[in-house]
Amino acid sequence: MTDVIHLLPDHVANQIAAGEVVQRPASVIKELLENSIDAGGTNIKILVKEAGKTLIQVTDNGKGMSTTDARLCFERHATSKINSAEDLFSLKTKGFRGEALASIAAIAHVELKTRQEDDEVGTCIKIEGSEVVSQEVCVTPVGTTICVKNLFYNIPARRNFLKSDTVELRHIIDEFQRVALAHPSIQFSLFHNGSELFQLPEANYRQRIVNIFGGKTNEKLVPVEEDTAIVKIHGYVGKPEFAKKGRGEQFFFVNDRFIKSPYLNHAVSAAFEGLLKDKAYPSYFLFLDVDPKSIDINIHPTKTEIKFDDEHALYTILRSSIKHSLGQFNVAPVLDFDRDSTLDTPYEFSQKGVTPPKVEVDPNFNPFQNETSGGGGNSSTFRKERTSGNSWESLYNGLGGQELESSGMNQVEFESDEVTGNLFGFSDEKEAGSTTFQLNKKYIITTLKSGILVIDQQRAHTRILYEELLKNITVTSAVSQQLLFPLQLRFSTNEIEHLKEIRESLEHTGFIFSEIKKDSVEITGIPTLISESEVAILLEQLLSDLENDVPGAGFSQIDTLSKSLAKGMAVKSGTVLGPADQQNIVNSLFACKESSLSPYNKPIFITLTVDELDKKFM
């Protein structure tokens, strides 16, 4: 028989390796950023076009490469970081496999420009599909610039698997944030299609977190510090009251390398036990410094998973340090820099004693003495002033019963203390004859010919609003209520980008945005079904849902937006509804196209027939 095993060509092997290392444009940015950091760059600039599908350019001011190194760096398993297998357990750099540039060059058009400080001119190399097209001398500043164009141009199947520009840009921003958080001493900037997304100056850890996630993050952070023989922990956790429904702001860094660890994540959740609401997740930015010999980072192609020698000890130390920090936060006094100094006690009165108040009494005042009778001059004057000041009855002199009736004053009704909400704008005119009633402030009970109907009021209202919002976004615009004073809300850069994407859809639902800045939005109009106090909560929940579901462009994004808004605007379980609102929920529900299931495919109502009730009494 003939031999069937043969060696793969280098370009095929590189394409296979690229399948592990380069999954999407965000993977390219991660590898290039790590190379720039290893090269000692202090100012790194990233340019992206069409979410990295057309162009990814990373420029740094690092030490650059020589002509030989520039050519050799594109060879597979070529690296300057390790020389032996033992070096894998003492790594202090980002890249070490020597696969990144070779894999990227196998599936894209790559152009490299680099120059060292001692050289007068630099080197420019162009590679297409692992083949060197040209290598020549060029004029370039000190450092390295790598342009990656037409990603997956020679693997159309892989290119077709890429998501929309919105989704791919979201992954790019995630990778950018992970690298930027780990290195606050380096300046980073990110541009997409000519617009600036991030401009991060050199800062400390807290400032870098605030620069990335917005100014509102500063008040949410609680510092965590712990130094032991096993691990040194520093960073921040979010206050329990600011916990979110999603896991967006959760970051672990081990030796300045972002990792994913469900085990350590459970340690953080255990520290917050009893402090969080149901299905809420805390934010954390935690940096762990450990001995490089005690970890193995060579177990995953993307190096986001690490194996620890003693995970149990790390778990215990991490949970205890976070609990300790949260305890300190709860008992420590808070410095209020916005305090009004005019309310403070003046310095000259701080040591002064308390003087009891004096009561002045007119000894000549006689309440039974007429104004015309004699008396003390002071008393008469006092009585005249008092009488003239309180003779309010004189305002109604000359008004008899007929005048009151003609003015309509006898028909004035006063507002009662109990104010009930009205969901649909109808009055409760036929409360006595209503065919519905509310059970346990959660279910609406109504009758059928064959039995009774039990409706979950929250799910039913969510379905009603969901179909109404879909109609408003795709067909007609909803009515908006104008705010007397514009509402200012602060968001992170990533959240602002999401709001810009869905701005048109939100305006169809009733929102009016007068201005969207880099880290805040100004709202002048909101839908009629929500109050001003609910806007911030509703938008934060919407952004969290969009980020977790990662919808693409088109109907899937509109569907996610409608579901999230309907869930936030719907009447909640525990809300008391009047008979008219109950009846209108029933009527509106069965006017929907799909009345049996909520937007999240949960049953809205159940029926109990007379036969089923009869069996209960047998």
User: Hunting for tokens 């004189």 — which residue is that?
Assistant: 394
pLDDT (tens digit per residue) in 523-536: 999 988 788 888 88
Helices (H), 292-414: 311-331, 377-390, 401-407
The structural domains of the chain, ordered by start, are: 10-202 (3.30.565.10), 206-330 (3.30.230.10), 436-607 (3.30.1370.100)
The whole-number average pLDDT for the span 606-617 is: 89
pLDDT (tens digit per residue) in 229-268: 888 999 999 888 888 777 778 899 988 888 888 888 899 9
- How much is the pLDDT for 387? 46
The whole-number average pLDDT for the span 574-591 is: 90
DSSP string, 519-533: SEEEEEEEETTS-GG
Question: How many helices and strands (H and E) does the chain possess?
Answer: 17, 22
- Yes or no: say if 246 and 548 are a contact pair by the CB < 8 Å rule: yes
Average pLDDT, the chain: 80
pLDDT (tens digit per residue) in 13-28: 766 666 667 888 998 9
Which residue did the predictor score with more confidence, 375 or 146?
A: 146
Given a cut of 90, whether residue 458 has pLDDT beyond it is yes
Question: H-helix or E-strand containing 132?
Answer: strand 131-138
- How much is the pLDDT for 505? 85
The whole-number average pLDDT for the span 193-199 is: 88
Beta-strand relationship, 250-254 and 284-289: parallel
Confidence of residue 557 (pLDDT cuts 50, 70, 90): confident
The whole-number average pLDDT for the span 207-219 is: 86
Q: For residue 386, count CB atoms less than 10 angstroms from its CB and return exposed for 0-12, middle for 13-18, buried for 19 or more.
A: exposed
In sequence order, the 6+-apart residues with CB closer than 8 A to the CB of 591 are: none
- Yes or no: say if 34 and 95 are a contact pair by the CB < 8 Å rule: yes
Given a cut of 50, whether residue 215 has pLDDT beyond it is yes
Between the CA of residue 27 and those of 19, 173, 308, what are the distances in Å?
11, 11, 24
3-state secondary structure 475-516: CCCCCEEEEEEEEEEECCHHHHHHHHHHHHHHHHHCCEEEEE
- Yes or no: say if 544 and 246 are a contact pair by the CB < 8 Å rule: yes
Using the Cα atoms of residue 348, residue 351, residue 356 and residue 362 in order, give the sign of their dihedral: negative
Identity at 596, one-letter amino acid code:
S
Given a cut of 50, whether residue 375 has pLDDT beyond it is no
- Yes or no: say if 18 and 10 are a contact pair by the CB < 8 Å rule: no
Residue 36: φ, ψ to 5°: -65, -40
- How much is the pLDDT for 347? 58
- How much is the pLDDT for 344? 57
DSSP string, 178-210: HHHHH-TTSEEEEEETTEEEEEE-S--HHHHHH
CA distance 216 to 542: 18
Widest Cα–Cα separation across the chain: 142
In sequence order, the 6+-apart residues with CB closer than 8 A to the CB of 525 are: 480, 481, 482, 483, 510, 511, 512
- Yes or no: say if 603 and 588 are a contact pair by the CB < 8 Å rule: no
Identity at 30, one-letter amino acid code:
K
| Global pTM exceeds 0.95 | no
- How much is the pLDDT for 276? 82
- Stretch among 152-166, 433-447, 496-510, 540-554 having the lowest mean pLDDT: 540-554
Of the chain, the percentage scoring pLDDT greater than 70 comes to 78
CA distance 385 to 534: 52
- How much is the pLDDT for 190? 93
- How much is the pLDDT for 147? 95
Given a cut of 90, whether residue 89 has pLDDT beyond it is no
- Tell me the two tokens of residue 570: 């719907």
Given a cut of 80, whether residue 137 has pLDDT beyond it is yes
Identify the DSSP state of 603. B
The whole-number average pLDDT for the span 593-597 is: 91
The whole-number average pLDDT for the span 56-75 is: 89
Confidence of residue 499 (pLDDT cuts 50, 70, 90): confident
